[in-house]
């Protein structure tokens, strides 16, 4: 597993003012995110989809015209947190 370029950063925004820290671990949550940096042309979207599937999550991910990757992920809070951590630290 390779690390993201240091410039890549994930902006993870909980939806509907859900306090993720207070959510029960088995609660279903939805998170919107946007990743900045060198994320296009390096199969970032493909790896994000694969990681989400492996964690049993659903959602979508797309490249933007601004050169970022945006997406939404839904599933159990613990699995969503794992993907958030993966987006921040591992990437592709």
Report the catalytic residues: 45, 63
Pair 21, 49: CB distance under 8 Å: no
Q: 74 by DSSP, 3-state: which?
A: strand
Cα-based distances in Å from 64 to 26, 34, 69, 71, 75: 32, 9, 6, 10, 24
Distance of alpha carbon 46 from alpha carbon 67, whole angstroms = 15
């Amino acid at each position: 597993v390779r690390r993201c370029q240091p410039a890549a950063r994930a902006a993870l925004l909980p939806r509907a003012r859900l306090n993720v820290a207070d959510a029960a671990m088995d609660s279903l949550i939805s998170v919107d995110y946007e990743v900045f940096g060198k994320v296009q042309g390096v199969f970032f979207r493909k790896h994000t989809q694969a990681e989400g599937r492996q964690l049993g999550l659903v959602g979508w991910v797309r490249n933007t015209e601004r050169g970022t990757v945006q997406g939404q992920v839904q599933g159990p809070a613990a699995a969503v947190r794992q993907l958030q951590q993966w987006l921040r630290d591992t990437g592709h």
